[in-house]
Every structure is written in C-alpha cells, then in structure tokens.
A and B are shown apart, each in its own frame.
Chain A
Amino acid sequence: MPNAIMDLTELLERVENDREIIRELLLIFKEEFPIHLRALRDAVDSMDGKKVATEAHTMKGMLANLAAGSAASAAARLEQLGRNQEVSEFQEACVSFENLGKELLLELDTCMAEVCG
C-alpha cells in the first residue's frame, strides 16, 4: 500500500507472521484508539499538559506497535509538548495528529482484509 501510515510488512515481521495476532491487535486498536484520541482532545482543550503527555504516550506505544512510524512520531511530539507545558503548540499538533489518526483508522479496514484474506 503506497504512502500507507501503517507498515504491514514490518508488522508481520514483528509478530513473526502471526496473522491471527495482527487481527486481534487491529480490533483492539479500533476500539481503544478513538477513546484515547477523545481524551487527548479534552486534555488539549483544557490545556492540561500532564494529561496530554499521558494520553500521547499511550497512543505513541499503540502506534509504534502497529508499525505506524509517522503517527507514532506525531504522538511523541505531543507527549513532549505536554511534558514541557508548551500549551501554545497544543492545538496545531493535536489537529495534525487527529488527521493522521483518522487516516489510519480508515486504513485499518483495508489492512484487515489483507491480513484475513
């Protein structure tokens, strides 16, 4: 998949070609990620740096596990901004991260079909 956010080849390597576990991971991600994304949005709107860092840290881990490198980097940036209480940067960073997240969620269905097929 060209310009995909998630690198399925890398993910397959990381789980030693266990397609069943990828299917499980994708299902968990689809369920958990939007919850964290909403919590991040709330934290950004209330300019709660600590909460921004915590939520971004969790999502960074989830994205790294899915071999979604660019999205994980965006989450890492938000985590750092939250730690440093750089509230003026929160909105811009959050919007670009949300866009990446939405794209990724759309990508998951194609990925799921590829894995299960």
Chain B
Amino acid sequence: MRILIADDEVMSRKMLQKTLERAGYEVTAVENGRLAANQLCPADGPRLALLDWVMPELDGPGVCREVRKRKEQSYVYMILLTSREAKEDVVAGLESGADDYLTKPFDPEELKARLRTGLRILNLEDRLVEAREEMRFRATHDGLTTLWNRGVMMDLLGRELARSRREHVCTAILMCDVDHFKTVNDTYGHHAGDDVLKETAKRLLAAVRSYDFVGRYGGEEFLVVLNNCNPPYALARAEEIRKAIARTPVPSVNGPIPVSMSVGLLFSEDWGRLPLEELLQEAGAALYAAKAAGRNCVKVASPKTSSPDSGSPDYQSIRLRR
C-alpha cells in the first residue's frame, strides 16, 4: 500500500519513513503541504497520508481541505500528526477533513494500528464502489449477453436521433432477430440457445464500429444503431452483419448449430420527425417482411412506397440473400 508522509522536519520524516517501510508500506515523503496536496489530489495518488500539522506553504488541515474538495475520486484516509492536544485544535483538525490524529512523538505500534484502521476504511470503500459499479452494470446491461439492455438502447437511440436531426445526418436502425430460435432451443436445449445468443452478441459487436450501439431488445431480438452513416453504407453494413452471423455455425456441446438472422433496416432521414416508438415499429415491420421473405435477409423500411390504408407497409425490398 502506498502512503504519503508530509513533514517539514527531516528527523520526523526519516523516523516515519523507516517505521512504515519496515511495516511494508511503499512510502513517498515530502517536506511541505503544497507538495503533499499535489501528490494526493490526482486520481492515482496515494490513498493513505500522514500529515504534519504545522508545515510551510500549506499546513496539514489545509492539505485535508484541498483533498476533500475533489469529487468522484477514491477516498484518501488522512491522519494529522500534531504536538497540539488542546480540544479545540483536535476539533479544528478533524473539521478540516482529517480522519484521525496522532500526537508526536509517535509510538510505532500505535501508528501502525491507526494505519490499519485506515486500511479497513479504504477496503470498505473499495467494496462499496465495486458493489455500486456492479449494480450500475446490471442496471444498464443484459445479463446474458452483456450488451446494452433495452432501456439504455432506447435512451442512446433517442439521443442519437436528436443529434442526427440537429446535424442533418442519417442514423440507421437495425432490428435483428435470430431465425428459428425456438427450433434451436427445442433441438439443442436452452443452454445451447443461450450460447447462440451470446455468440450472436459477440459477432454483432465485432461487426460494427466502436461508436455504434448494439443492444439486446428482448428474447432473440437485437437492436443495432449505426451512427452518422449514409444509407448505402448502412445497407452494406447491415448485409455484412447478416453475413457475419450466418458465416459459421455456433459451436455447442451438442454439435455446431447453424444460425442466421433477419434484419429490418430503417434510415432516420426517410422518416422526418417520427417519434422513436413509431420508428421502431416501422423497423420491426421491416424485420417481419424479412421473415416473410424467407429469413436470412435484410429489408429496408421505406415510407415512400408504403400504403397507409393497407395497414401493413409495402416495403421496398432489397433481397440480399446469398
């Protein structure tokens, strides 16, 4: 564990350094409060600190105040070293943000015990941060595939559509569905079905650019958002994605499983200011058209050729089956 010692008095600094190195700490020693703050404020700075109260440039309580001003960074456990024992001094030190104080000259055993308390607090903080991050991940990702979940995808897509309208560029929405997935489950078992979904997710991610979005929409449906791309590029990319899924069977304990995917593709620039939900409905309808056309193909949703009276759009079909 790294620890910072700040003391302007060279003998104190030496004694602290030796004691802590013997106890297994990795010690950085500085001689004033300004240097201490500079070491402690960066995100990768030491998380344990022993600060002399009276120092040039910036005193111990001043260092504590500067470090506590930082937000969203790991906690730094700070102990003030002082020869002051008056109650008001101790209160002022702790009010500045110090976690503890130790009277000089220090007893090595007491010093080490107090640092162990600090380590327990830091470990507790680490566990809490880890738990929070895990909860944040679970709240935003699909548990099986680890792709973005539906809620996050709606949010990301909403923002991307607003941006594309603002900047007059095109966003492509791909509503994708694994073909004959029920048959996969029935034939190979649900574990194999899960493997197919996981492998599909992996292939989808590998087939898009780093700034595109891929999420699980539900069941065996996936949503892909290609940001800022023109229709010919999006169409070619959709076809690449379809091919990437179907190219090789998914390995499973029950043998390789042939997999294909149908895709409904929609270009935002064709649909004016249609709300997000309606755009998704249109992309979904294009997906059903792809299913109806024999699966393993891409269909583009086109408002120009749809007949509003019929209840079902007449899609400009681009058959791209192999």
Also in contact, A61 and B12, with CB within 8 A (given A14-B108, A67-B105): yes
Q: Are the CB atoms of A64 and B14 closer together than 8 Å?
A: no
* Chain A residues in 8 Å Cβ range of B54: 57
A residues with a Cβ closer than 8 A to B are 14-16, 18, 21, 24-25, 28-29, 32, 57-58, 60-62, 64-67, 76
Q: Is the CB of A25 within 8 A of B104?
A: no
Interface residue from A16, A21, A61 paired with B9 (Cβ < 8 Å)? A61
B22, CB-defined interface residue at 8 Å: yes
Give Cα A25 to B13, complex, Å. 10
Q: Evaluate contact between A29 and B11: CB separation under 8 angstroms.
A: yes
Does B83 lie at the interface of the complex (its beta carbon under 8 Å from any beta carbon of A)?
yes
Residues of B within 8 A of A32 (CB): 10-11
Q: A14-B106, A65-B15 are in contact. List 6 more A-B contacts (CB 8 A).
A: A15-B15, A15-B19, A25-B11, A61-B12, A61-B104, A76-B83
Interface residues of B in 166-224 (CB under 8 A from A): none
Distance, CA A64 to CA B107, complexed state (A)? 12
Could you tell me if A61 and B11 are in contact, using CB atoms closer than 8 angstroms? yes
> In the complex the two chains form, is B105's CB within 8 Å of A64's CB?
yes
Main DSSP-derived SS at the A contact region: helix
Q: Does B18 touch A at the CB level, under 8 Å?
A: yes
CB<8 Å pairs between A and B, sample of 15 = A15-B18, A15-B19, A16-B19, A16-B22, A21-B15, A21-B18, A25-B14, A25-B15, A32-B10, A57-B54, A61-B9, A64-B83, A64-B105, A65-B11, A66-B11
Q: How far is the CB of A2 from chain B (nearest CB, A)?
A: 23
A64 to B105, CA, bound (A): 6
By a CB distance below 8 angstroms, the chain A residues around B104 are 61, 64-65
What total count of A-B pairs have CB within 8 Å? 50
Q: Number of contacting residues on B, CB 8 A?
A: 17
Closest residue to A10 on the B side, CB-wise?
B105
- Are A65 and B83 CB-contacts (below 8 A) given A15-B19, A21-B18? no
The B75-100 residues at the A interface (CB cut-off 8 A) are 83
A25–B15 Cα gap in the complex (Å)?
8
Most chain B Cβ neighbours within 10 Å, of A15, A24, A61, A64: A61
Q: How far is the CA of A58 from the CA of B55 in the complex (A)?
A: 10
* CB-contacts of B1-55 with A (<8 A): 8-12, 14-15, 18-19, 22, 54
Contacts of A64 in B (CB 8 A): 83, 104-105
> Which single residue of chain A is at the shortest CB-CB distance from B23?
A16
Instruction: Give the residues in chain B near A65, CB-CB below 8 Å.
Output: 9, 11-12, 15, 104-105
**A20 → chain B, closest Cβ, in Å?**
9
CB distance from B291 to the nearest CB of A (A): 77
A109 to chain B, nearest CB (A): 18
* Contacts A60-B83, A61-B83, A64-B83; A18 near B18 (Cβ below 8 A): yes
* B residues near A15, Cβ cutoff 8 Å: 15, 18-19, 108
8 Å CB contact of B14 from A21, A57, A67:
A21
